Amino acid sequence: MSATLSVGVQAADFDVGAELAKLEPLGGGGVASFTGVVRGGNGLTALELEHHPGITETMIRRIAEQAAGRWPLLGVTAIHRHGRLAPGDRIVLVAAASPHRSAALEATAFLIDWLKTRAPFWKKEYFADGTSRWVEARAADDEAAKRWIEQG
Amino acid sequence: MSATLSVGVQAADFDVGAELAKLEPLGGGGVASFTGVVRGGNGLTALELEHHPGITETMIRRIAEQAAGRWPLLGVTAIHRHGRLAPGDRIVLVAAASPHRSAALEATAFLIDWLKTRAPFWKKEYFADGTSRWVEARAADDEAAKRWIEQG
Amino acid sequence: MAIAILYFASVREAIGHSSETVAPPPDVVTIADLIGWLAARGGGYAVAFANPGQIRAAIGDDFAEPGTPIAGAREIALFPPVTGG
Amino acid sequence: MAIAILYFASVREAIGHSSETVAPPPDVVTIADLIGWLAARGGGYAVAFANPGQIRAAIGDDFAEPGTPIAGAREIALFPPVTGG
């Protein structure tokens, strides 16, 4: 099965409905998606995402290709924003079209686990009290991504 | 965690982007979704879905409540169309918002498995050669839905 | 006792209409009795209910078993097994 | 040998700029050598590379190990471990 890949790392917001509408006509019968939104709390006022222009998109494309090789997918979309985002802003969209609903959902879970834990981004959190800090890699999230590798 | 439920059985199409946008601001950080599209092939020209006005929506609401009790969800949307649909038409949308991406994705998988196999609909297929037939319950799909009950 | 009966899918098609009001005699106590009584009308009814084990029922908005009493029911639905969406 | 060096995140902040062109001497053979050579400049560089084990690198678009030779590299990126999106 040959999958249409659509990968992007961009500052601008994305249109979830428009992105999913591109996957719906691929003939699969089902499109799964996951949209990430910047979470507030603890006085967070902004999140800044830094990326490596060459590496980040290349790596995301490589993982999307991996998903398309592992599951019978007709299309994969992965869009991640960079730059300064506020709580409530959309930050990431992953979607997969497949004739099998479990394949579409599992590929979406695989991709979002990888994007949230392994994708080449650096995140800085800004707080209402004027402080800021670089987020460190989280071991628990690493585990979630590792599950998929061990199954591979 | 109290979840906002949105359930509908309708003839009209739905706006996936607009429906997901209602779940994004609930503070969960993540929204998973599954959109079903009528699949063509074998000369299928139309699919007609019949439902019981009282029972179908009541049952879908009950399963959405069950999902909200089983996973930490902030919102659940389940919209199913009835009437005559053509290949390529959207037929069902399930979505869940949660602070945990695995909860959102698992609840979406649970709901779509149930909707595709157990929801009170009757489907008739119309073919290009003028024939038509009522679809029979499928054992394989029953198994997918049963998994969730056994885990419960 | 007047009861509204709703028919769905292949049952509706065999019978030729989607609803009617019936007044079954007192010896029609359960859903299974009702199906048997309707089948005895012959024609489309006999076709629709040729295999009573394949007929499902609901009283109001709740699914009912063959042995469920119909006393007090105002609306009963009869249909083949649901097939999912 | 002129190499473009890109700095990201906390490394960039400590050094004070996001890129520069350097010409390391011939005894700077590997990524680890490069990091040591930059750290020896002191100031923000010493801060950025105080813990070399926590520095990751890429040559062009590919991740590189501390022992990877830098010969022929035109662009090298130095950064802390990535944290996901």
C14-23 pLDDT, tens digit each: 999 999 999 9
Residue C63 to residue B49, Cβ atoms within 8 A? no
User: Among partner residues D8, D79, D84, which is closest to A115 by beta-carbon distance?
Assistant: D84
Give the separation between CA C22 and CA C20, rounded to whole angstroms. Answer: 6
State the DSSP code for C38: H
How many C-alpha atoms does A126 have within 13 Å on its Cβ side?
A: 11
Give the separation between CA C66 and CA B108, rounded to whole angstroms. Answer: 33
Tell me the H-state helices in B24-52.
none
Which two three-digit tokens encode residue C71?
């006393």
Mean pLDDT within A74-100: 97
User: Among partner residues B58, B91, B138, which is closest to C85 by beta-carbon distance?
Assistant: B91
Looking at residue A144, its pLDDT comes to: 54
**If you average pLDDT over every residue of chain A, what do you get?**
91
Q: Distance, in angstroms, between C57 CA and closest chain B CA?
A: 11
Contact C59, C68 (CB under 8 A): yes
Mean pLDDT within A95-99: 97
Q: Distance, in angstroms, between A120 CA and closest chain B CA?
A: 19
Question: Is D49 contained in some domain?
Answer: yes
Res. B139 pLDDT band, cuts 50 70 90: low
Task: Say whether A81 sits in a helix, a strand or coil.
Answer: strand
Q: Distance, in angstroms, between D5 CA and closest chain A CA?
A: 12
Structural domain for A82, as ranges: 4-151
Q: Where are the beta strands (DSSP E) in chain B?
A: 4-10, 30-37, 44-51, 75-81, 83-85, 90-98, 121-127, 132-134
Give the pLDDT confidence of A16-74 residue by residue, as tens digits. 999 999 999 998 889 999 999 999 988 999 999 999 998 999 999 999 999 999 999 99
Of the candidates B34, D7, B130, B3, the one whose C-alpha atom is nearest the C-alpha of residue A105 is B34
Residues of B in contact with C80 (CB under 8 A): 122, 134
Residue D10 to residue A122, Cβ atoms within 8 A? yes
Mean pLDDT within D55-71: 95
Residue A152: is its pLDDT beyond 60?
no
Looking at residue B146, its pLDDT comes to: 55
Of the candidates A130, A95, A86, A109, the one whose C-alpha atom is nearest the C-alpha of residue A24 is A95
Give the separation between CA A93 and CA A18, rounded to whole angstroms. Answer: 12
Return the amino acid letter for C43. Answer: G
Looking at residue D81, its pLDDT comes to: 94
Give the separation between CA A149 and CA B45, rounded to whole angstroms. Answer: 42
Q: Distance, in angstroms, between C55 CA and closest chain B CA?
A: 13
Residues of A in contact with D8 (CB under 8 A): 50, 52, 122
Residues of A in contact with D61 (CB under 8 A): 54-55, 58
DSSP characters over A56-72: HHHHHHHHHHHHHHHTT
Looking at residue B112, its pLDDT comes to: 98
Residues of D in contact with A8 (CB under 8 A): none
Question: Is C66 contained in some domain?
Answer: yes
Residue D7: is its pLDDT beyond 70?
yes
Relative orientation angle of helices B139-151 and B101-117, to the nearest 10 degrees: 140
**If you average pLDDT over every residue of chain D, what do you get?**
96
pTM: 0.91
| % of chain B beyond a pLDDT of 90 | 82
Task: Say whether D24 sits in a helix, a strand or coil.
Answer: coil
Determine the residue among B50, B51, B89 to mutate to test chain C binding: the one whose Cβ has the most chain C Cβ atoms within 10 Å. Answer: B50
Residue A101 to residue B112, Cβ atoms within 8 A? yes
**If you average pLDDT over every residue of chain B, what do you get?**
91
Give the separation between CA A85 and CA B1, rounded to whole angstroms. Answer: 26
Residue B137 to residue C60, Cβ atoms within 8 A? no
Res. B152 pLDDT band, cuts 50 70 90: very low
The CATH code of the domain that includes D30 is: 3.10.20
Give the separation between CA B116 and CA D73, rounded to whole angstroms. Answer: 55
Across the A/D interface, how many CB contacts are shorter than 8 Å? 63
Give the pLDDT confidence of B39-89 residue by residue, as tens digits. 998 899 999 999 999 899 999 999 999 999 999 999 999 999 999 999 999
Among chain A residues, the shortest Cα distance to B144 is held by A102
Neighbours of B, requiring at least 3 CB pairs below 8 Å, are A, C
Question: Is C46 contained in some domain?
Answer: yes
Tally of structural domains, chain B: 1
Residues of D in contact with A123 (CB under 8 A): 83-85
Question: Is D78 contained in some domain?
Answer: no
- Mean pLDDT is lowest, of A74-88, B130-144, D57-71, for B130-144
Looking at residue A132, its pLDDT comes to: 97
Structural domain for C63, as ranges: 3-73
User: Among partner residues C9, C61, C75, which is closest to B50 by beta-carbon distance?
Assistant: C9
Angular region, A130: left φ>0, alpha ψ -120 to 50, beta rest: left
Give the separation between CA A55 and CA B25, rounded to whole angstroms. Answer: 31
User: Among partner residues A54, A116, A117, which is closest to D61 by beta-carbon distance?
Assistant: A54
Which residue's entry shows tokens 């090789």?
A69
Residue A137 to residue D82, Cβ atoms within 8 A? yes
Residues of C in contact with B123 (CB under 8 A): 83-85
User: Among partner residues C8, C60, C81, which is closest to B50 by beta-carbon distance?
Assistant: C8
Looking at residue B62, its pLDDT comes to: 96
Give the pLDDT confidence of C23-66 residue by residue, as tens digits. 999 999 999 999 999 999 999 999 999 999 999 999 999 999 99
| Residues forming a β-bridge with B121 | B51
Return the amino acid letter for B5. Answer: L
Question: Is D80 contained in some domain?
Answer: no
User: Among partner residues C10, C58, C84, which is closest to B115 by beta-carbon distance?
Assistant: C84
Give the separation between CA D17 and CA B41, rounded to whole angstroms. Answer: 58
Question: Is D83 contained in some domain?
Answer: no
Residues of B in contact with C81 (CB under 8 A): 136-137
Task: Say whether A123 sits in a helix, a strand or coil.
Answer: strand
Question: Is D14 contained in some domain?
Answer: yes
Q: Does C77 lie at the interface with B, CB-CB under 8 angstroms?
A: yes
Give the pLDDT confidence of A110-122 residue by residue, as tens digits. 999 999 999 999 9
Give the separation between CA B74 and CA B140, rounded to whole angstroms. Answer: 31
Among chain A residues, the shortest Cα distance to B16 is held by A17
Question: Is D65 contained in some domain?
Answer: yes
Q: Distance, in angstroms, between A131 CA and closest chain B CA?
A: 22
Neighbours of A, requiring at least 3 CB pairs below 8 Å, are B, D
| % of chain A beyond a pLDDT of 90 | 82
| % of chain B beyond a pLDDT of 70 | 89
User: Among partner residues D9, D60, D81, which is closest to A54 by beta-carbon distance?
Assistant: D60
Total Cβ atoms within 10 A of residue C72: 8
Tally of structural domains, chain D: 1
Look up the ipTM and state it. Answer: 0.90
Would you tell me which residues 11-50 of chain C have a C-beta closer than 8 angstroms to some C-beta of chain B? 12
The CATH code of the domain that includes B103 is: 3.90.1170.40
